Amino acid sequence: MNTTKKQPQRTCVACRSVGGKRGLLRVVRTPEGRVLLDPSGRLPGRGAYFCRENACLAAAVKGVQLEHILKVKMISEDRETLKTALGEILKEQAVV
C-alpha cells in the first residue's frame, strides 16, 4: 500500500465492491435512529455505502442489508423518503 492520496475505503453494502469512480452513496443512521440519504457525506452517525449501480440502489431501497449494517429497523416514513431520494438519483443517471 503506497498511495499518495489517502482515501478511506468504502465498501458497497450490496455488491461489496470498494470505492468506485463516481463514489459511493452514503446512507446514515442518525443519533436519533433515523435513516436517511446523506449526499454531503458529513452527517454524524453510522454510515452504510452503496455504489450507483441500479442493482445496488435497488438493494438499498429494499433495506434488508441496510438495516443489518446500520443495526436499525427503518420506520416506514424513512423508508419512503429513502426510496424517493434513490429514485431521483436513478432518474438523473438515466438522463445523463
Question: How near is the Cβ of 2 to Zn ion at its closest, in Å?
Answer: 26
Task: Check if the beta carbon of residue 27 is closer than 8 Å to that of residue 38.
Answer: yes
Using CA atoms, how far apart are residues 39 and 59, in angstroms rounded to an integer? 18
Examine residue 27 and tell whether it contacts Zn ion (CB under 5 A): no
Question: How near is the Cβ of 32 to Zn ion at its closest, in Å?
Answer: 27
Considering only 51, 57, 70, 82, the residue that binds Zn ion (CB under 5 A) is 51
> What spatial distance separates the first Cα and last Cα of the chain, rounded to whole Å?
35
Per residue in 47-64, is it b (16+ CB within 10 Å) or e — as a string? bbbbbbeeebbebbbebe
The C-alpha cell of 82 is what? Answer: 429513502
Return the number of the residue (44 or 93) whose C-beta is nearest Zn ion: 93
Examine residue 60 and tell whether it contacts Zn ion (CB under 5 A): no
Examine residue 82 and tell whether it contacts Zn ion (CB under 5 A): no
Considering only 10, 14, 25, 45, the residue that binds Zn ion (CB under 5 A) is 14
Total of residues contacting Zn ion (CB under 5 A): 6
